Structure 1
């Protein structure tokens, strides 16, 4: 598994200047060290040699771990890795594949279905992504829409708005 920290630093929690610099710069946090340690413990069981650790984001509801190459694992192994990581960290964990904005949104909203994902370009040069979810899918969301919007904003780094659409407003 490719990771930003040295194996020795992760296992001992005594960070070398390079690893400490990554944390001091704000690029990574101690949460990332904990998650890399847990992934290293599970590395041989799930053959994570082709997987690259990107970053982890935490809210009070759950932790989102962003990896590259995660989709190459079999679906059953992906789900079991999430469960094992959750039990090691004692937190609810979702693992997503690093990819386009739409792919990340779809992975985090799953198993709920999306209506649309659209991007609006604003006059000041910024963009805003609007995610529309039917109201009947609310119960299938992993967390409430506000928490989901908060974590998506942090992962993607741009403005994401989640709109819940009532059945009457959906036009076919």
Structure 2
């Protein structure tokens, strides 16, 4: 399993100096560590989890797991067993998305079941940012707050993103 923390920290309760430094810098969160350790413990029973690449865990009103390309189905598990167990352990619904090379397709999956009208590139003096256009009528369909969505996209793609709701 490839995770944001090392193999030693996965199997023990304590963090090594490197992983503790990642935690103090804010590169990883305590929730991320807890989820990765839970998945590591499940991997002893569910063999398909041993080859999974977990890129990021975002904790909002939904627990969002960003898997490596092609690892989404393995992370969900047969019959949804893995996500059901995680939902039970953390008391939140779990959503799994696969990492994508382009931000547009990932953003469309992230805001689903709301639809994405388009992404505009906004050029500014201090660089460029992106504007995700979503229909106003779909605002209630978002599983997360607009702030959480923009934070997720910024942390994964390193780009400034803003959500715009259009009539």
Q: Do they fold alike, i.e. is TM over 0.5?
A: yes
- Structure 1 distance, partners of 2:152, 2:76, is 25
Aligned-pair CA distance for 1:34: 0.4
Distance 1:75 1:56 in 2: 12
Unaligned runs of 5+ in 1: 167-172
Q: Deviations over 1:108-153 (max 9, x none)?
A: 10122111122222232x2211111112322322134344334434
**Conserved? CA contact 2:75–2:96, under 8 Å:** no
Moved more, 109-118 or 84-93: 84-93
Residues 54 and 67, structure 1, Cα contact 8 Å, conserved in 2: yes
Superposition deviation, residue 2 in structure 1: 1.4
Q: Does 1:90 align with 2:91?
A: yes
Equivalent residues of 1:57, 1:155 under 8 A apart: no
What are the equivalent positions in structure 2 for 1:153-172 lying under 5 Å apart? 153-166=154-167
Classify the secondary structure of the residue corresponding to 1:32: helix
- After superposing the two structures, state which structure 1 stretch, 50-59 or 39-48, moved more: 39-48
Distance 1:79 1:160 in 2: 35
Residue matched to 2:58? 57
| Equivalent position of 1:115 in the other structure | 117
Q: Deviations over 1:31-79 (max 9, x none)?
A: 22101112223334371233212222233x2332222135562797488
SS in structure 2 at match of 1:64 = strand
In the TM superposition, residue 8 of structure 1 has moved relative to its aligned partner by: 4.3
Q: Displacement, 1:96?
A: 2.0
Q: Any idea what SS the aligned residue of 2:50 has? A: coil
5+ unaligned residues in a row in structure 2: which ranges? none
Greater shift in the superposed pair: 145-154 or 25-34 = 145-154
Give the SS at the match of 2:121. Answer: strand
Instruction: Give the equivalent residue in structure 2 for 1:39.
Output: 39
SS in 2 for 1:27: coil
Structure of larger gyration radius: 1
- The alignment's C-alpha RMSD in Å is 2.9
Instruction: Please state how far the C-alpha of 1:102 moved relative to its aligned partner.
Output: 1.5
Whole-angstrom distance in 2 between the partners of 1:146 and 1:2:
28
